[in-house]
């Protein structure tokens, strides 16, 4: 594999630390990666991000071969498989945020109870079926749940987000965690009213032209 710029290693670690500082994650839980020309750069296995240096970030080839002194996250398979299946994806974030993980342990999708569910690319945020962490089965379930989506929950596990870069996936993870919180709070009172298919289609169309034009 080609050399990895020091700036990219530092950016990956900074984003992992921001993920923890924002309450999306804790300690060495979760993992984060960014695409390389010939593979991806991923956080190391079992190391608290507060104790890591940029040199601890692990380059991994698309065949799963790591390079360097550290072992990659045990979840490297679903990172690799997302990059293979989704050429537009430049970064992948997995975390254990409190509300997303609560819903994941209930094996609940997030339905269209709020229009912002569309931020993840569809009219719901699916919960992937359960499989043990680090397995190919889990990766397969994640890819199914991510069809047409930018985020999914993982049964009895946590959250996964994909996007065009590190800042984007971190922002998306915060958005989905807020949605999970609102949904969980609504369920504590009753069953929330859901937007219908036509209403969500209108939201998705509006989101396609939302924000500032690309320069």
pTM of the shown model: 0.95
Mention the CATH class of domain 6-207.
Answer: alpha beta
Residues 72-115: pLDDT tens digits?
A: 999 999 999 999 999 999 999 999 999 999 999 999 999 999 99
Active site amino acids: 75
DSSP E strands: which ranges in the chain?
31-36, 39-42, 58-61, 91-95, 127-128, 151-154, 158-163
Assign 145 to helix, strand or coil: helix
Are 26 and 20 in contact by the 8 Å Cβ rule? The answer is yes
Angle (CA) 33 119 114, round 5°: 135
Q: Confidence band (pLDDT; 50, 70, 90) for 28?
A: confident
Q: What per-residue confidence (pLDDT) applies to 26? A: 87
Please count the other Cβ atoms lying within 10 Å of the Cβ belonging to residue 51: 9
- Domain spans of the chain, in order of start: 6-207
Does residue 132 register a pLDDT over 70?
Answer: yes
């Amino acid at each position: 594999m080609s050399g990895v710029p020091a700036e990219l290693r530092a950016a990956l670690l900074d984003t992992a630390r921001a993920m923890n500082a924002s309450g999306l994650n804790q300690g060495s839980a979760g993992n984060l990666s960014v695409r390389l020309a010939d593979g991806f750069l991923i956080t190391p296995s079992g190391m608290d991000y507060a104790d890591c240096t940029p040199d601890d970030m692990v380059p991994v080839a698309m065949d799963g071969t790591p390079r360097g002194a550290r072992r990659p996250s045990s979840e490297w398979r679903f990172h690799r498989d997302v990059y293979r299946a989704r050429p537009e994806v430049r970064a992948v974030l997995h975390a254990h945020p409190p509300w997303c993980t609560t819903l994941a342990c209930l094996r609940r999708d997030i339905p269209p109870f709020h229009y912002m569910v569309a931020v993840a690319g569809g009219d719901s945020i699916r919960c992937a079926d359960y499989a043990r962490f680090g397995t190919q089965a889990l990766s397969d379930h994640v890819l199914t749940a991510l069809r047409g989506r930018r985020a999914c929950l993982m049964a009895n596990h946590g959250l996964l987000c994909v996007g065009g870069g590190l800042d984007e996936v971190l922002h998306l993870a915060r958005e989905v965690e807020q949605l999970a919180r609102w949904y969980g709070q609504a369920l504590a009172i009753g069953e929330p009213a859901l937007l219908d298919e036509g209403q969500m289609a209108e939201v998705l169309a509006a989101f396609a032209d939302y924000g500032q034009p690309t320069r």
